């Protein structure tokens, strides 16, 4: 029998696993290409890339959360009613979402005034949504000196309106307002505080505001009209307490004709 013959039923001997033959496929325990973890177990290519992949997912999740937070804050803010000036419409401690872009506006002439020989002294202001309206509840920075805490009040007079408080009621352009949210409570000016009780014409770019609790509210009867630039936003949704969840209602005054 020659060296290259094999017996029936046997196969060619594979020497690749025999260390005596110095096979290139044999691996020693000290092979530097083998990566182990702290326990000595080999680390596969899948586990080696798992940690960077998880880290990337965590970073992406955090970035997405930040983007969503910034986007939401650009549209709405949350405020807590502090005090009784808006009862019975809003209770002390009630939590609100305020739409800070409700009165967003721009001057269309500003889009072309940068062109040579184009200039406009007047403005053409456009409101993509709605301008301030009577009956809106707003959050604003009060014009009173030294006051920086936001107030919440209801818009009563718009630019050009003549406002007068008399006979325990509010008159706009000579028409007495019907205000059901007052639940029959009168509107008065305290003795010695009559400067802003009218008749007063609301200047351009200003608003006349009152609290719904007329007997316990520091409002335009005390500090005058509010610049529209001081408005932080329009009260939109009540979300706490849970039994008060809902959209803040808007009241119209059909007895006052539109100008």
Range in 23-37, 138-152, 227-241 with the lowest mean pLDDT: 23-37
Dihedral of alpha carbons 150, 79, 182, 253, sign: positive
Summarize the confidence of residues 22-41 as an average pLDDT: 51
Cis link prior to 241 (omega < 30° from 0)? yes
What is the predicted pLDDT for the residue at 14?
A: 45
Domain range annotation of the chain: 32-74, 80-247
Alpha-carbon gap, residue 7 to 106, rounded angstroms: 97
CA-nearest of 161, 189, 187, 185 to 175 is: 161
In CATH, 80-247 is 3.40.50.1260: no
Please indicate whether residue 55 or residue 234 has the higher confidence score (pLDDT).
Answer: 234
Residue pointed to by tokens 């970035």 = 63
Residue 256 has pLDDT above 50, yes or no: yes
Q: How far apart are CA 4 and CA 11, in angstroms?
A: 12
Strands of the chain, DSSP E: 76-80, 95-99, 106-107, 125-126, 137-140, 151-157, 162-166, 169-172, 175-176, 200-201, 206-210, 226-227, 231-240, 246-247
Are the CB atoms for 78 and 94 separated by under 8 Å? no
DSSP state of 229: G
Q: Is the pLDDT of residue 153 over 80?
A: yes
pLDDT at 102: 86
Pull the structure tokens for residue 175: 């028409």
Kindly report, residue by residue over 169-219, the tens digit of the pLDDT: 999 999 999 999 999 999 998 766 677 888 999 999 999 999 999 999 999
Structure tokens at 227: 């610049």
The pLDDT, as a whole number, for residue 66 is 77
C-alpha distances in angstroms, 143 versus 12, 128, 132, 139, 187? 99, 27, 18, 13, 22
Q: What is the pLDDT of residue 65?
A: 76
Cα-only R_g, the chain: 37
Residue 13: band (very low, low, confident or very high) from pLDDT cuts 50, 70, 90: very low
Number of C-beta neighbours around residue 196 at 10 A: 17
- Angle subtended at Cα 193 by Cα 159 and Cα 201, rounded to the nearest 5 degrees: 15
User: Average pLDDT, whole number, for the chain?
Assistant: 79
The dihedral sign for the CA sequence 230, 232, 234, 238 = negative
Q: What's residue 15's pLDDT?
A: 47
Q: 240 φ, ψ to 5°? A: -155, 135
57-102 pLDDT tens trace:
888 788 877 776 666 666 778 999 999 999 999 999 999 999 998 8
Q: What pLDDT sits at residue 26?
A: 45
Rounded Cα gap, residues 77 and 73, in angstroms: 6
pLDDT value of residue 257: 83
- pLDDT at residue 138 greater than cutoff 90: yes
Residues 230-251 pLDDT 10s? 999 999 999 999 888 999 998 9
Would the pLDDT of 47 be above 90? no
- Percent of all residues in the chain with a pLDDT value above 90, rounded to a whole number: 48
Q: How far apart are alpha carbons 255 and 174 in whole angstroms? A: 10
């Amino acid at each position: 029998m020659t060296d290259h013959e094999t017996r029936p039923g046997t196969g060619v001997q594979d020497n690749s696993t025999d260390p005596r033959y110095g096979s290139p496929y044999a691996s020693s325990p000290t092979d530097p290409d083998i990566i182990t973890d702290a326990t000595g177990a080999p680390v596969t290519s899948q586990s080696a890339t798992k940690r960077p992949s998880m880290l990337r997912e965590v970073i992406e999740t955090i970035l997405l959360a930040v983007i969503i937070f910034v986007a939401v804050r650009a549209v709405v803010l949350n405020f807590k009613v502090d005090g009784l000036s808006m009862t019975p419409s809003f209770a002390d401690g009630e939590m609100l979402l305020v739409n800070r872009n409700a009165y967003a506006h721009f001057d269309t002439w500003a889009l072309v005034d940068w062109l040579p020989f184009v200039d406009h002294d007047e403005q053409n202001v456009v409101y993509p949504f709605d301008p301030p309206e009577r009956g809106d509840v707003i959050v604003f920075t009060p014009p009173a000196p030294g006051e920086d805490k936001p107030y919440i009040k209801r818009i009563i007079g718009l630019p050009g309106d003549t406002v007068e408080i008399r006979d325990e009621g509010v008159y706009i352009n000579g028409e007495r307002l019907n205000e059901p949210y007052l639940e029959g409570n009168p509107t008065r000016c305290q003795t010695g505080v009559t400067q802003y009780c009218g008749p007063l014409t609301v200047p351009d770019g200003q608003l006349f505001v009152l609290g719904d609790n007329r007997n316990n509210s520091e409002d335009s009867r005390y500090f005058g009209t509010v610049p529209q630039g001081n408005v932080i936003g329009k009260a939109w949704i009540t979300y706490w307490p849970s039994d008060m969840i809902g959209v803040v209602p808007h009241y119209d005054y059909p007895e006052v004709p539109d100008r």
